[in-house]
Structure 1
Amino acid sequence: MVDGVIRFQLGRIFISNKHMRETFKEYAIQEGIKLKRVKNDKVRQTYKCGADVCGWRAHASWMIDGMNFMLKILSDQHDCHRVYNNKEATVKWITSKFEKLVKSNPSIDVKVICDLLRESYKVSIDIRRLYRAKNRALKKLAKDHAKCFGYLRRCHLKGPFGGVLHSVMSLVANSRLFPLAVCICEKETQDSWEWFLNNLKNYLNYPEGKNLIFMYDRQKGYYARSIYVNFKLTYKSDHYKKLFWRAARSSNIYYFQTCMEEIGIIKPDAKKWLMDIDP
């Protein structure tokens, strides 16, 4: 990719078949190609233009190492007219492109999204697909908000009166817990949590503009995603990303060390950067 534009050349490496599918989907939208999948399985992928008169074609398969795909055949001449109503611009794809916009402005008109798609990606999408994409983004946003409430501490009371006990604990200077607030409510709902947290906010009298840190279940370990955000600032290759997450998800020391050795072979400085982090 050069300046945000996808370009292919023989020998290009893809870290997985999923990575290759996503890259060719983006390329088909970028170039306005009607993409036809001739082969599309776990070991090989072949793409061609949907127009019979066009000779554009690309083929890739697994490398000997069994870890990556390599582009082995490429006929990069494309002479067809651009496809504006591109089927590759699916509801899922539209959602991924405008999820942040919908999150910041949930009431945005789909006609605005339509204009942005036409301007940025040169695609024309029917209005029903746009509505489905926006609704999908809104549902995901609501799900994310609901997930936050799941991290709050509560206890369902089993006595004769029932109800739910909400509580907030604070970590004091000697690393012990101190109860800040408790309340008993009829059941766990969004309204009961809002009432409880708003009262807690008033009680704490915390300055506006400053953030509070909530820890679920007193977890103090490293957050791999935060480490990777800093790691990729220097080591941006997709291959580094793949190896980093393999190491992060390792279930034993041997597999972790194997992944780290692979990173060290490619770039010793990258391995040193990771190993210098205190356990």
Structure 2
Amino acid sequence: MAEFREALRNYHVRTLRNFEYHRNDPSRIIAWCSDRKHGCEFYITASKIAHEATFSIKKMNLDHTCGASGENTKVTMKWVAKAVEDTVRSNPVAGVETILSYTKKIRVHVPKKLAYRAKRNVVDVVQGDHKTQYYRLRDYLQYVMDTNPGLDGCFIKLSTGQQILAATGRDGNNNIFPIAFGVVDKEETDSWTWFLTQLRTIIGSGNKFGTYTIISDMQKRWDMTAAPCSHVVVAMQKVKLHPEDFVHEFFKKPLYCETYKHIIYPVLGPDCWPHTMVDDISPPVFKEKKGKKQTARKKGQFEVLAKKDTSRIGIVTCSNCKKQGE
């Protein structure tokens, strides 16, 4: 029944026509063109087959003789959300203009207010309710460890409007290696203190894995603290020493292979996760930030600001003296 109604709506939105129900109940549906009084002969009847769950079309005439119009179709918020779901899945940060561009392409008029509501709806469908997902983090972790023996943690896909603090390292091949992450309300001293305290608990103290070099604020510099520099290499060659003998084990093949020896097997959806008997992880208190949402990253203290694009700024001509630039 629901699938039939959805198909009927899709057909009319796609063909830029409208319809109305003459009868609409759980066992029988009769629909005809909204312009029936002006001679349009479109109609369709469908009913439920006795003693079955099947809904069957009995009679129909799908030819509309009325004119097409994209302003009076039965477009709803849910229809728009369903239509753009694939687009939002591929680009979760797509704005409302993307939705309006799609509906304009199929010549369907959608008010901007309805497009905003559809965007919120489809984001909830695609990304889920992040607050409720916190309660299943331990279930997910247990399932990951059951299917991937040897792993010590898990990662989540999250986009809540808050911020994720992450710690990553470099492996022996100079590739990014994820270590830990944390979700905080905003990037501030207290949040970083908490995160770094937890990070120390994970990696431990001392230099078991070599000397740590900590870099923050997206700096481009990376210090190699466990390998001889170019000057030392030249000196070693003079005395017939092998530089690779003085490189930390971290940068050698055996430890690299040890790092990636585990195969990460795929996991199934939430319906297959076990229900652990430990306390759930409660979601943090998310605060709605006032004002316009920030879309650009704030520059660091020592970052060079990009030059403003003045290519679209025209030259002003004075209306009195007719000279430019005054």
TM-score by length of 1: 0.51
Q: Find the residue that maps to 2:124 and give its secondary structure.
A: helix
Answer yes or no: is the 8 Å Cα contact 1:61–1:72 preserved in 2.
yes
Go from structure 1 to structure 2 and tell me whether the alpha carbon gap of 1:171 and 1:30 turns closer, same or farther (over 3 Å shift).
closer
After TM superposition, give the deviation of residue 93 of structure 1 in Å. 0.8
Go from structure 1 to structure 2 and tell me whether the alpha carbon gap of 1:206 and 1:37 turns closer, same or farther (over 3 Å shift).
farther
Q: Find the residue that maps to 1:151 and give its secondary structure.
A: helix
Once residues 33 and 113 of structure 1 are traced to their aligned partners in structure 2, the CA distance between those partners, rounded to angstroms, is 21
Q: Which blocks of at least 5 consecutive residues in structure 2 are unaligned?
A: 154-161, 166-179, 184-194, 204-257, 277-326
Answer yes or no: is the 8 Å Cα contact 2:81–2:119 preserved in 1.
yes
Task: Please list the CA deviations of residues 159-203 of structure 1 after superposition, one character each: whole Å capped at 9, or x if unmatched.
Answer: xxxxxxx98984499xxx99957xxxxxxx997994399959x86
Q: Find the residue that maps to 2:20 and give its secondary structure.
A: strand
**Partner of residue 112, structure 1:** 98
2:57 to 68, 71, 84: 71
Go from structure 1 to structure 2 and tell me whether the alpha carbon gap of 1:106 and 1:59 turns closer, same or farther (over 3 Å shift).
same
After TM superposition, give the deviation of residue 207 of structure 1 in Å. 8.3
After TM superposition, give the deviation of residue 36 of structure 1 in Å. 0.4
Once residues 110 and 95 of structure 1 are traced to their aligned partners in structure 2, the CA distance between those partners, rounded to angstroms, is 11
After TM superposition, give the deviation of residue 138 of structure 1 in Å. 2.6
After TM superposition, give the deviation of residue 39 of structure 1 in Å. 0.6
Residues 1:217 and 2:274 aligned together? yes
Answer yes or no: is the 8 Å Cα contact 1:169–1:180 preserved in 2.
no
Go from structure 1 to structure 2 and tell me whether the alpha carbon gap of 1:141 and 1:30 turns closer, same or farther (over 3 Å shift).
closer
Answer yes or no: is the 8 Å Cα contact 1:168–1:179 preserved in 2.
no
After TM superposition, give the deviation of residue 99 of structure 1 in Å. 2.2
After TM superposition, give the deviation of residue 25 of structure 1 in Å. 0.8
TM-score by length of 2: 0.45
Answer yes or no: is the 8 Å Cα contact 2:12–2:73 preserved in 1.
no
2:34 to 25, 50, 55: 50
1:83 to 69, 89, 103: 69
Residues 1:24 and 2:81 aligned together? no
Residues 1:130 and 2:115 aligned together? yes
Once residues 127 and 67 of structure 2 are traced to their aligned partners in structure 1, the CA distance between those partners, rounded to angstroms, is 41
Q: Find the residue that maps to 2:69 and give its secondary structure.
A: coil
Go from structure 1 to structure 2 and tell me whether the alpha carbon gap of 1:71 and 1:179 turns closer, same or farther (over 3 Å shift).
closer
Once residues 72 and 213 of structure 1 are traced to their aligned partners in structure 2, the CA distance between those partners, rounded to angstroms, is 45
Residues 1:195 and 2:182 aligned together? yes
Once residues 147 and 75 of structure 2 are traced to their aligned partners in structure 1, the CA distance between those partners, rounded to angstroms, is 52
Higher relative contact order (CA 8 A, sep 6+): 2
Once residues 7 and 273 of structure 2 are traced to their aligned partners in structure 1, the CA distance between those partners, rounded to angstroms, is 37
After TM superposition, give the deviation of residue 217 of structure 1 in Å. 2.3
Root mean square deviation, CA, Å? 4.4
1:1-279 mapped onto 2 (5 Å cutoff):
17-51=1-35, 52-53=37-38, 54-119=40-105, 121-153=106-138, 170-171=145-146, 180=152, 194-195=181-182, 213=267, 216-217=273-274
Q: Which blocks of at least 5 consecutive residues in structure 1 are unaligned?
A: 1-16, 155-165, 182-188, 220-279
Once residues 144 and 98 of structure 2 are traced to their aligned partners in structure 1, the CA distance between those partners, rounded to angstroms, is 45
Once residues 190 and 168 of structure 1 are traced to their aligned partners in structure 2, the CA distance between those partners, rounded to angstroms, is 26
Number of corresponding residues: 180
Structure 2 counterpart of 1:90, one-letter code: T
Once residues 63 and 142 of structure 2 are traced to their aligned partners in structure 1, the CA distance between those partners, rounded to angstroms, is 65
Answer yes or no: is the 8 Å Cα contact 2:16–2:73 preserved in 1.
no
Structure 2 counterpart of 1:216, one-letter code: W
After TM superposition, give the deviation of residue 33 of structure 1 in Å. 1.6
Answer yes or no: is the 8 Å Cα contact 2:143–2:273 preserved in 1.
no
Answer yes or no: is the 8 Å Cα contact 2:143–2:267 preserved in 1.
no
Once residues 61 and 95 of structure 1 are traced to their aligned partners in structure 2, the CA distance between those partners, rounded to angstroms, is 28
Go from structure 1 to structure 2 and tell me whether the alpha carbon gap of 1:169 and 1:59 turns closer, same or farther (over 3 Å shift).
closer
Go from structure 1 to structure 2 and tell me whether the alpha carbon gap of 1:128 and 1:169 turns closer, same or farther (over 3 Å shift).
closer
Q: Find the residue that maps to 1:123 and give its secondary structure.
A: coil
Once residues 96 and 210 of structure 1 are traced to their aligned partners in structure 2, the CA distance between those partners, rounded to angstroms, is 33
Once residues 172 and 42 of structure 1 are traced to their aligned partners in structure 2, the CA distance between those partners, rounded to angstroms, is 44
After TM superposition, give the deviation of residue 150 of structure 1 in Å. 2.7
Answer yes or no: is the 8 Å Cα contact 1:62–1:70 preserved in 2.
yes
